[in-house]
Amino acid sequence: MDSDATVPLSERPEWSDVVPLSQDDGPNPVVPIAYKEDFRETMDYFRAIYRSDERSPRALRLTEEALRLNSGNYTVTDPSSLPYYYSSKRVWHFRRLVLEELDHDLFEELKFIESIAEDNSKNYQLWHHRRWVAEKLGPDVAGKELDFTRSILSVDAKHYHAWSHRQWALQALGGWENELDYCHELLEADVFNNSAWNQRYYVITRSPSLGGLKPMRESEVSYTVKAILANPGNESSWRYLKALYKDDTKSWISDPSVSSVCLKVLSRTDCFHGFALSTVLDLLCDGLRPTNEHRDSVKALANEDPETNLANLVCTILCRVDPIRANYWAWRKSKITVAI
């Protein structure tokens, strides 16, 4: 930003020809906002150049000053539909108009956005603007967008806007080559990071180079089973395992890897059994014909409960081991109509 940015606009020769336009809150505002003087003055000058539609270098600099004072200035698709006193909602939009008019270096604009993100990365207007710039620049900035989101996610691994932008960038600009490795890196750091599991699923189902869910299933099941056995109480990995069989119930109930990991967890005494039991319940309800090993593993946890229907018995145990969701498991039990 210019070194004279701390000088009031009214004292800068560059702005001597502009008559600032004050915000009109009406004759009797109920709760007038006590704006800081520098913000009030900046927005008064912005309203003036917005009204005159001045698309100049100084207008671009003014939008920067306004956004550094309040980067939450709303994006408006059709600002002409609003009266002029709402111009505080138009800064991002107007900045794009000026950028286009001046044919401004959009790589420099990326740097500007990054500087704003340092203080307020959860500002959704910023991400909308970032996408607009990246779309203009095209595939050449795929790496920059992935690096940018990586830097945000290194601070907040579940940052919604960063994940959304990253997925958009992969689809629109490319850069899939190392994304699975990146997901693994995040899960190595925190296997409970459900956002990283979600991104991993996004990659295997959307990447044009991996072939889709079925070709990736065997390796992904192996990867997930290892994660489950290391942390049986991690719901994310269990949900990911089931997602690997989306729209393929036959494979879901017949793949020995699924039953095997359930049985291994149920045989342990050092972990939470709830997710293994709920997976067994899903398998049974989807049509699995239980083996003696399934029955013995479940009955070993039953505390001599008299239930004979295996699915009912699983629900009964879940009510005990997962009391927070006891009502849900009781409801699931009430819906079981087939003897298993």
Q: Which positions are catalytic?
A: 122
* 317 vs 329: CA distance, rounded Å: 9
Do 234 and 192 touch, CB atoms closer than 8 A?
A: yes
* 213 vs 246: CA distance, rounded Å: 9
* 302 vs 317: CA distance, rounded Å: 6
DSSP 145-204: HHHHHHHHHTT-TT-HHHHHHHHHHHHHH--GGGHHHHHHHHHHH-TT-HHHHHHHHHHH
Q: Which two tokens stand for residue 191?
A: 């296997």
Number of residues that make up the chain: 340
Give Cα 154 distance to the centre of its chain.
14
Q: What is the 3-state secondary structure of 113-141?
A: HHHHHCCCCCCHHHHHHHHHHHHHHHHHH
Q: Cα dist. 77→56, 98, 106, 136, 325 in Å?
A: 21, 15, 20, 17, 44
Do 87 and 50 touch, CB atoms closer than 8 A?
A: yes
Q: Cα dist. 336→138, 205, 254, 312 in Å?
A: 53, 32, 21, 7
* 44 vs 22: CA distance, rounded Å: 5
Q: Which two tokens stand for residue 40?
A: 């009030």
